[in-house]
C-alpha cells in the first residue's frame, strides 16, 4: 500500500505517519506538506531515515504536483488544513484557499485516477450544543459558526458530492478536539502547558465554561486507521474521546499537574461567536469498526504534560519562529 498523506508534517498528520510506519512496515508513505507555520519536519525526526517515508514540500492547491503524487499512490488522506478558529476570524482567505479549493484540487486528482480518498474533518461543522442537547452524530445537521468551521463544512460537502456525482470511493471522519505530542503551541493544551512551563499566565476566554470533548491524538490516528481499512465507502464516522470538560477544568488540571496556583489564570475577553459546547457520539465507529479510545482523560493529560516537559527545545524553537525561518531558507516552493 502506498498512501499520500497531505499535511503530514502537522500535528495529527505526523502522529498518523508514525503509526502507519510502525504498524505496517511494508506500507510506503508519501508526505506532502507546505511547511507553513504549523508544519514542522522536526515532528518526524525519528522517522526521517525510514526508507518508506518520502517527503515533498508543496501545496495541495498545485494541480500539477497533486496530479503527479496522486497518480503514484493508492490512497489519499487529507489532513492539510488551516485549523485555528482565532486566525480564521482575523483572516479567512487562507482558510478558504486551503480547506476548500485545496480539497477540490485533491478530489479532482483522485477522481482522475479513481483513488481511495479519506477526508479529515471536525465536529465544529455541526455548530454549538445547548446544555441539554444530545451529542453530535453522523446525522446532525451542519451549522458552522466561524470562518474555519464554514470552510471545513464546505470541504465535507465537496467530498460527498464527488462520491454521489462521480462514484469516488471516499470516507469522512469528524473528530473532537485533539491534544497530545507535537501540537503547535497555539491550541489550548499546547499553549497553556508551554506558557506555564515558562512561568507565564494562561488566557482563559470569558468565564472558561465552554465545553469540549477531548481526544488524545494517538487514539484519533487509530480511528483513521480503522476507517481507511474497514470503513464503508461513502460513509462518515464521528470520532470522540470521552473527555468532555470545560476549558476551566482543563486549565485547573494543568495547574494541578504542574503544582501551580490559580493566580496563573487570567480571564480575557471571549472571542466573537465562540461556540459554547461540543460533544461527540462515537457509537457508529465503535459498533461498526470496533474502535474505542484507549487513553483516559487523566492519562492523556499526564502524558501530554510530561511530553512538553521533556521536549522543551522543540516548542521553544517553534515559539521563537526558528523552525519556520529554517524551512524558508532550506526549501523552495514548487
**Contact between residue 48 and residue 41 where contact means Cβ atoms under 8 Å apart:** yes
Q: Which residues contact 328 (CB under 8 A, 6 or more apart)?
A: none
- Cell digits for 129? 450544543
Report the sign of the C-alpha dihedral through residues 126, 107, 10, 334, in that order: negative
In the set 33, 42, 82, 148, the catalytic residue is 148
Q: Which residues contact 239 (CB under 8 A, 6 or more apart)?
A: 173, 174, 175, 176, 215, 220, 223, 280, 282, 285, 291
Annotation marks residue 124 as catalytic: yes
Annotation marks residue 329 as catalytic: no
Annotation marks residue 275 as catalytic: no
What's the length of the chain? 334
**Radius of gyration (C-alpha) of the chain in whole angstroms:** 19
Residue 43's alpha-carbon distances to 52, 76, 171, 242, 289, in angstroms, are: 16, 20, 26, 26, 29
Residue 10 DSSP symbol? S
In the set 33, 42, 123, 275, the catalytic residue is 123
Residue 236's φ and ψ, nearest 5 degrees, are: -110, 145
**Contact between residue 321 and residue 278 where contact means Cβ atoms under 8 Å apart:** no
- Cell digits for 289? 469498526
In the set 124, 156, 219, 244, the catalytic residue is 124
- Cell digits for 248? 476551566
Residue 46's alpha-carbon distances to 43, 182, 184, 252, in angstroms, are: 8, 12, 18, 33
| Active site residue ranges | 123-124, 148
Amino acid at each position: 500500500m502506498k498512501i499520500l498523506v497531505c499535511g503530514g508534517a502537522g500535528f495529527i498528520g505526523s502522529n498518523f505517519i508514525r503509526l502507519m510506519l510502525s504498524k505496517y512496515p511494508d506500507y510506503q508513505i508519501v508526505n506532502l506538506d507546505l511547511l507553513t507555520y504549523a508544519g514542522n519536519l522536526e515532528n518526524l525526526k525519528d522517522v526521517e531515515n525510514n526508507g518508506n517515508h518520502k517527503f515533498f514540500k508543496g501545496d495541495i492547491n498545485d494541480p500539477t504536483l497533486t496530479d503527479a503524487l496522486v497518480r503514484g499512490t493508492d490512497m489519499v488522506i487529507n489532513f492539510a488544513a488551516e485549523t485555528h478558529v482565532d486566525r480564521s476570524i482575523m483572516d479567512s482567505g487562507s482558510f478558504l484557499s486551503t480547506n476548500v479549493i485545496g480539497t477540490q484540487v485533491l478530489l479532482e486528482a483522485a477522481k482522475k485516477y479513481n483513488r481511495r480518498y479519506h477526508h479529515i474533518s471536525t465536529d465544529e461543522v455541526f455548530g454549538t450544543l445547548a446544555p441539554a442537547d444530545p451529542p453530535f452524530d453522523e446525522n446532525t445537521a451542519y451549522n458552522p459558526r466561524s470562518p474555519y468551521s464554514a470552510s471545513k463544512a464546505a470541504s465535507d460537502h465537496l467530498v460527498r458530492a464527488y462520491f454521489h456525482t462521480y462514484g469516488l470511493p471516499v470516507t469522512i471522519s469528524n473528530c473532537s478536539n485533539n491534544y497530545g505530542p507535537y501540537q503547535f503551541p497555539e491550541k489550548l493544551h499546547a499553549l497553556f502547558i508551554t506558557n506555564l512551563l515558562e512561568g507565564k499566565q494562561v488566557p482563559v476566554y470569558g468565564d472558561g465554561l465552554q465545553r469540549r470533548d477531548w481526544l488524545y491524538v494517538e487514539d484519533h490516528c487509530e480511528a483513521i486507521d480503522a476507517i481507511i481499512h474497514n470503513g464503508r465507502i461513502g460513509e462518515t464516522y464521528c470520532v470522540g474521546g470521552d473527555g468532555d470538560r470545560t476549558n476551566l477544568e482543563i486549565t485547573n488540571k494543568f495547574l494541578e499537574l504542574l503544582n501551580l496556583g490559580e493566580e496563573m489564570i487570567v480571564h480575557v475577553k471571549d472571542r466573537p461567536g465562540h461556540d459554547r459546547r461540543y460533544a461527540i457520539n462515537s457509537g457508529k465507529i465503535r459498533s461498526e469498526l470496533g474502535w474505542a479510545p484507549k487513553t483516559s482523560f487523566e492519562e492523556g493529560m499526564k502524558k501530554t504534560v510530561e511530553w512538553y516537559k521533556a521536549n522543551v527545545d522543540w516548542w521553544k524553537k517553534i515559539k521563537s519562529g526558528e523552525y519556520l525561518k529554517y524551512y524558508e531558507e532550506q526549501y523552495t516552493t514548487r
